[in-house]
Structure 1
């Protein structure tokens, strides 16, 4: 019953974008429908805003919201480098906006002008973060023209990012770790392994995943913790076999914790903006349904 309940919630409550994602992933839906819905969140500068990331209602383009768009591009296997959405993202990334020469900003000052979760609040003193920069580096290496200045920049940034990763290894931030795993996957698939030591990167990521996963599964249903699905989406992942037991357990956990309405508990919340949080929470429920159903289908078959 888990699938039908999940499907019903999506059709009754989800944003058009998430309905299109559901249809594409599970009902032989159209890739173009996903892209049409995604375009609604893209701004003139090519970046994304407008609460594409439901925890941030900033309409202005931001790196984190633009990163969410790149995740959806991966999800639907869009490979056309000339697609307007991809070209727009490359335009935004090459503009220098929200970029300090080394990393793209994790939060923006304009976030504070709109409803948002506390972790997207802008503070004047910001620590260096490779969330989402590590993902953008991989995206650029995959999609940018190899003769462009942006591609040349990414070839330099990937070395900086990898040095940062090794210096700060092992990391405690699960989201930053997931960005480095994305970078690894982009590089591996692009056959540009000469940019760094891909075998060493693989070895370190195996250790890093073990370090950051929450093995106390009693916390999974009530706290915002790190589960293997953040890093491992399929059985073909380089990291699945080494984490098979806990990954397979997550499938059982998902099946056992579904709510009667087809959703799963959202284990985080906002302090401020309660009205907007109630809307965003509903959006997150749809996103989590899609992720959970996809994970079960990929891992359990």
Structure 2
């Protein structure tokens, strides 16, 4: 069975409704409004998103991490719901500190099952996820006073230096795509200093790979990497497909259901990357 067919069967069998709708939209021409409809079940009355939209915590409360996932899912589906977005950004505005920054999560997660890495460090306002949220709103072409305030804070943080973690660096670079300040040489020199960056395609360790920074050949950050580097990681991505058709994850979610949910997310993501690089 070929890569795509095996992955399709995994998504149809084991992924949650949201990823099935997203897969159908991206690869089968389904109406993107189905993705928005699936997202509605994760939006709370306060406008934020919760209910384990990002599966590493089962907390129903609204969290910025889940808002970011909602925005990115809409972008992946090329879908946009003005009311849904506005309610979420209004909620972010009410949560943000005086500078406009927001944290990934909050103490509410402590009352529910969660992965070991969802701890107090996620309660502190940071570039991750603030910069990613600002960038997503630009990509969604959605203006809001909170976006402007948070953008100013992100710019001041960038001026202080790059993030020390690969996940934070991802959000920072996504933000920089909208400021016209893509200093490739400076970024290239910084990459080896990042925690959780997996430069070696053969490494068994968890980490963000060059494909995370350049998920498509036309990415702003594609010139950071050689053809050989990207080809090696694409080969690894193909090789990492599991016998059941899905891709595995390198961390422990809070339970079997969350594990399958995250595998659905990364499987659709793997297919999107392979499609972009003409590997399907």
The answer to whether TM tops 0.5 is yes
Residue in 1 that maps onto 2:200: 216
Deviation of 1:30 after TM superposition, in Å, equals: 1.4
Q: Map residues 1-301 of structure 1 onto 2, 5 A cutoff.
A: 1-78=2-79, 80=80, 83-94=82-93, 96-99=94-97, 101-122=99-120, 129-141=126-138, 143-145=141-143, 149-164=145-160, 166=161, 169=162, 171-185=163-177, 187=178, 193=180, 198-200=181-183, 202-209=184-191, 211-212=193-194, 213-220=197-204, 223-243=205-225, 244-270=227-253, 276-300=254-278
1:68 and 1:134 map into 2 onto residues whose CA distance is: 13
8 Å contact 2:100–2:150 — kept in the other structure?
no
The question of whether the paired residues in 2 share the 8 Å contact of 1:90 and 1:140 is answered with: no
Determine the C-alpha separation between the residues in 1 that align with 2:190 and 2:108: 33
Residue-pair matches, total: 274
Contact 2:99 2:149 in 1 (8 A): no
What secondary structure, in the 3-state scheme, does the structure 2 residue paired with 1:52 have? coil
| Partner Cα distance (2:123, 2:45) in 1 | 27
Decide whether the 8 Å contact of 1:251 with 1:300 is kept in 2: no
What is the TM-score when the length of structure 1 is the normalising length? 0.82
Q: 3-state DSSP class of the match of 1:118?
A: coil
- Gap regions ≥5 residues in structure 2: none
Q: Distance in 1 between matches of 2:151 and 2:119?
A: 31
The CA distance in 2 between the partners of 1:131 and 1:160, in whole Å, is 14
Structure 1 residues 267 and 175: alpha-carbon distance in aligned structure 2, compared to 1, 3 A threshold: same
Q: TM-score, normalised by structure 2?
A: 0.88
Return closer, same or farther for 1:28/1:141 CA change in 2, 3 Å cut-off: closer
Using a 3 Å threshold, how does the CA distance of structure 1 residues 24 and 92 change in structure 2: closer, same or farther? same
The runs of 5 or more residues in structure 1 that have no matched partner are 271-275
**Cα displacement (A) at 1:51:** 0.3
> Conserved in 2, the CA contact under 8 Å of 1:8 and 1:262?
yes
Secondary structure of 1:131's partner?
A: helix
Is the CA contact (8 Å cut-off) linking 2:249 and 2:263 kept in structure 1?
A: yes
CA contact (8 A) 1:251 1:296 kept: yes
Stretch of structure 1 that moved more, 254-263 or 210-219: 210-219
